[in-house]
Amino acid sequence: MVRYMECQKNHAAHLGGHVLDGCGEFMPAGEEGTPLALKCAACDCHRNFHRREAEVGSSTAATPTPTPPPPQPSSTTPNCYISFANNNNISKPTVIRPQPRAPVMMAFGGGAAAESSSEDQAAAAQFAEQYGVSKKRFRTKFTQGQKDKMTEFADRIGWRIQKQDESELQRFCQEVGVKRQVFKVWLHNNKQAKTAKQKHETKVYKHLLDYGRATFHGIYKDISKKKKGRRAF
What's the fold here for domain 144-232?
Arc Repressor Mutant, subunit A (1.10.10)
The reported pLDDT for the residue numbered 227 is 66
Instruction: Give the residue ranges of the chain where pLDDT is below 70.
Output: 56-139, 197-200, 207, 216-217, 220-221, 224-233
The residue type of 159 is W
The reported pLDDT for the residue numbered 1 is 79
Residue 24 CB burial class (10 angstroms; 0-12, 13-18, ≥19) = middle
CA-based radius of gyration for the chain: 30
The reported pLDDT for the residue numbered 160 is 86
Q: What is the DSSP letter of 218?
A: H
The reported pLDDT for the residue numbered 209 is 75
Q: What is the DSSP string of 54-106?
A: EEETTEEEEEPPP-PPPPPPP-SPPP-EEE-S-TT--SSPEEEPPPPPPPPP-
The reported pLDDT for the residue numbered 68 is 57
pTM for this predicted structure: 0.35
CA angle 101, 107, 108 (to 5 degrees): 130
- Ranges in the chain annotated CATH 1.10.10.60: 144-232
The reported pLDDT for the residue numbered 59 is 47
* Residue 192: partners with Cβ closer than 8 Å, 6 or more residues away: 24
List, for residues 15-54, the tens digit of each pLDDT value: 888 888 888 888 888 888 888 889 998 888 999 999 998 8
